[in-house]
Amino acid sequence: MTDTESCPLLPEDQAPGVAKTLQVQRHRGGEITECSDTVAEEWPVSLVFNGISHAVMMTTPADLEEFALGFALSEGIVASPAEVFDIEVEHHADGAEVKLEIAQPAFLKLKEHRRSLVGRTGCGVCGTESLEMLDLVPEKVRAAALAIGQPELLKVLTELSRYQTLTQATGGAHAAAWCSAGGEILQAFEDVGRHNALDKLLGWMARQKVDTAQGFVFLTSRASYELVRKAARCNVPLVATISAPTALAIRIAWQSGIRLLSFCRQNGFVEYPAQP
């Protein structure tokens, strides 16, 4: 998407929406009904660091500045928001570019460890060139996890649907929410990719200078390894998910000191305390 003649820039008011309404045929009980349906948009977004394209991620085309900043932090490209000097979003007819200007030491490190990533909605390490490049040793989380329990999780579960407008319209998105110690949802982002939704949230948290010791992340997905790994890089001490964790996600939570809660339901949850 660097050739502006083949990929012309779109005016801001023509940027793609997060969903599209289509005419469909609904098959139920042997009958066919013509009706309209809303589907989530999935859009290629190229992340460009200091003029060099690093990754193309398939995302919901909204909140792209937060997404890019969260990606840079959660992937370890930069160590802090202060190393990101500028973020510019360009929409094209067939995708978008997010151009980040980052500190030279961070850029030199990125070039040394550069990998060819093509992200998909269910994959966090597509394109990793070798096992040696797969970083599974998490940072130690410095913040202490809150002693939240079922009352706080129940409050999140009760309120979450208010923040899931794309999911309600399409049934095809994940949400990532930042919640207070009392279970109030302070901010939430949606995306077709669960890791993209988390990156958007982490980018917002970085911009707002959120104290990660004062709340927790809630995800409407399984706890896959890359989600816990991203949380560790951003000093998030507590992650709660609606669905199941993987064994690797649990191990990374143990290693980093993250309190991991999964299978969060109306009547309870499962916790994975570190093994002796």
Q: pLDDT tens across 220-264, in order?
A: 999 999 999 999 999 999 999 999 999 999 999 999 999 999 999
In a domain, 265, yes or no: yes
Distance separating alpha carbons of residues 107 and 208, to the nearest angstrom: 24
| C-beta of residue 246 within 8 angstroms of C-beta of residue 224 | yes
- For 217, the enclosing helix (H) or strand (E) is strand 215-219
- Look up 123 and say whether it is catalytic: yes
3-state secondary structure of 257: coil
Name the stretches of the chain with pLDDT < 50. Answer: 1-7, 10, 14, 115-131
Q: Is 27 part of any domain?
A: no
CA–CA distance, 175 with 167 (Å, rounded to integer): 8
In a domain, 61, yes or no: no
How far apart (Å, rounded) are the C-alpha atoms in residues 8 and 20? 22
What per-residue confidence (pLDDT) applies to 93?
A: 84
Please tell me whether residue 265 adopts helix, strand or coil conformation.
Answer: strand
pLDDT at 13: 52
Residues 6+ apart with CB under 8 A from 252: 136, 138, 225, 228, 229, 232, 258
**CB distance 40 to 192 below 8 Å:** yes
Residue 92 located in a structural domain: no
Inside any domain, residue 57: no
Scan for tokens 């302070």, then name that residue. Answer: 186
In a domain? residue 123? no
b/e for 107-133, b at 16 or more Cβ within 10 A?
bebbeeeebebebebeebeeeeeeeee
Number of domains in the chain: 1
pLDDT value at residue 4? 40
Check which CATH number belongs to the domain holding 205 and give it.
3.40.140.10
For residues 256 and 27, what is the distance between their CA atoms, to the nearest angstrom?
Answer: 48
- Give CA 98 to chain center in angstroms: 16
Gyration radius from the chain CA atoms: 19
Q: How far apart are CA 212 and CA 38, in angstroms?
A: 35
Domain of 167, in residue numbers: 150-271
| Residues forming a β-bridge with 223 | 245
pLDDT of residue 238: 98
Q: Which of 7, 35, 123, 126 is catalytic?
A: 123
Q: Give a yes or no: residue 79 inside a domain.
A: no
Q: What letters, b where the CB count within 10 A reaches 16 and e where it falls short, cover 203-239? A: bbbbeeebebbebbbbbbbbbbbbbbbbbbbbbbbbb
The confidence score (pLDDT) of residue 134 equals 62
- Whole-model pTM over 0.75: yes
Task: Identify the helix (H) or strand (E) that includes residue 49.
Answer: strand 43-49
For residue 71, being part of any structural domain is answered with no
Closest to 61 in 3D by CA, of 204, 231, 153, 192: 192
